[in-house]
Amino acid sequence: MEINKNYLYSGSEAVLRWLYPRRCPICGNVVKDKKALACGGCIRQLPYIDDRYCFRCGKQLEDGAEEYCPDCRSRGHLFAAGRSVWIHGGPIGKAVYQFKYGGKREYGLFFAHEMARRWFPFLQANRIQAVIPVPLHKARYRERGYNQAGILAGHVGKLTGLPVYEKCLVRVKNTLPQKMLGGGERQRNLENAFQMADALPASRILLIDDIYTTGATLDWCSAVLLRAGAESVYFCTVTNGIG
């Protein structure tokens, strides 16, 4: 099985691209190759996570002999496992920032395509049945106009054929960005932040988010889904590292 490449060239995409030539999420220039989502030269320079990654959180490892990163060796997680495409930072970090805060929602297709392309075998091996984006609080949604994780999940769903449930999990607490807080505060910040708003659609779930940092957000979302009866929760993010 392969991902559905036709989605990239579907009718509405083609009209949109004719009106607004696609810009490369990395350098901002118009992408010359009509079938590409970013410039070839830019893509080649990006820090793709190679085959030495933590089996739990997907973080790039220096030493391919290790199975888990120091963080996952020292503590457990509630999600079963997750994978990311790139090491966070530099030009890809900037592109994700633009996608999240700069209104560049169109960058989501490039990110989601790389997620689906790289990790489709991982999704199949784990028999994923449904995709759920990490939700944004409604006040933030109003500010930003979109949930970046929802955009990614929508594209991943179309590319993999998996159903997406955007309204099943909600964020009921308008939390502070985790990076602004210390260790203990981070835990309290996310406590009771998420809730089910709808019945659990399936038992093997894939959560989608933009960046994996400590995994706290994904653990809290997993806790809620597991309590609602999920068998196991996996995740996929664009980047992995310090956000």
Write out the residues near Zn ion by the rule CB under 5 A.
Answer: 24, 26-27, 39, 42, 54, 56-57, 59, 69, 72
Residue appearing with tokens 């075998």: 121
**DSSP E strands, 23-69:** none
CB of 42 to Zn ion, least distance (A): 3
Angle at 234 between CA 231 and CA 235, to 5 degrees: 150
Rounded to 10°, the helix 216-227/183-190 angle is 30
CB of 29 to Zn ion, least distance (A): 6
Compare residues 86 and 165 and give the one whose CB is closer to Zn ion.
Answer: 86
CB of 44 to Zn ion, least distance (A): 10
Compare residues 160 and 222 and give the one whose CB is closer to Zn ion.
Answer: 222
Compare residues 69 and 85 and give the one whose CB is closer to Zn ion.
Answer: 69
Compare residues 72 and 207 and give the one whose CB is closer to Zn ion.
Answer: 72
Q: Which 8-state DSSP code applies to residue 23? A: B
135, 170, 188, 201 from 195: Cα distances, Å = 10, 5, 16, 14
Compare residues 24 and 131 and give the one whose CB is closer to Zn ion.
Answer: 24
CB of 75 to Zn ion, least distance (A): 10
Which two structure tokens, joined as six digits, stand for 237? 């993010």
Render 126-156 in DSSP notation, one character per residue: TT--EEEEPP--HHHHHHHSS-HHHHHHHHH
CB of 36 to Zn ion, least distance (A): 9
CB of 144 to Zn ion, least distance (A): 25
- 20 exposure class (CB count in 10 Å sphere: 0-12, 13-18, 19+): exposed
Compare residues 27 and 223 and give the one whose CB is closer to Zn ion.
Answer: 27
